[in-house]
Amino acid sequence: MKVLATLLLLIPVLSFGQDCKYRMHKVDEFTNKATIYTKLEKIGPSLRVQFVRIGDEKYMRMKYDLNIGCASSDSYVILKYENDSTEKLMYIGETNCSSPVFASLLPDNIDSIKKVRIRHSRSYRDVKISKPSFLIKGVKCLD
């Protein structure tokens, strides 16, 4: 009976671990640091997100298919949270007009992002997060 009770308690843990979808999960043989990339997941119209951990640093990468111009040093993303506060993240990459990817350190309160504004050379687009549960799940997959 104790064995059955223990197994029943482990089922949620085992099934959660299987929900993580990785593109890469390896440990560097020289530094012993983990490198983890989750698979891209659609979280809103034309917006996909991926979580990355390199050693102890955690990052969020956003890939989007929006016709709003080139990503450049003037480009940014504004995250809008449930409490209506915002956080502006600047694009720090080379000018990219074909397939921009926005990357930043992982924000502290990622679980409460409700909308994202993406600004490029020609325009901006607001994207409502339609799958907020993935933001929480994706971060947990980095641990």
Query: How would residue 9 be classed by pLDDT, with cut points 50, 70 and 90?
Result: very low
**pLDDT tens, 46-67?**
899 999 998 889 999 888 888 8
Question: Which stretches does DSSP call E strand in the chain?
Answer: 22-27, 34-38, 41-44, 47-54, 57-64, 76-81, 86-90, 101-105, 113-119, 124-128
pLDDT at 110: 84
What are the structure tokens assigned to 108, written together?
A: 């502290």
Look at residue 126 in the predicted model and tell me its pLDDT.
Answer: 93
Return all residues near 119 (Cβ < 8 A) that are at least 6 apart.
68, 74, 75, 76, 77, 78
Residue ranges covered by each domain of the chain? 2-140
pLDDT digits (tens, 9 = 90+) for 72-111: 988 999 999 999 999 998 888 889 888 778 888 888 888 8
Q: What is the pLDDT of residues 113-134, one digit of tens each?
A: 999 999 988 899 999 998 888 8
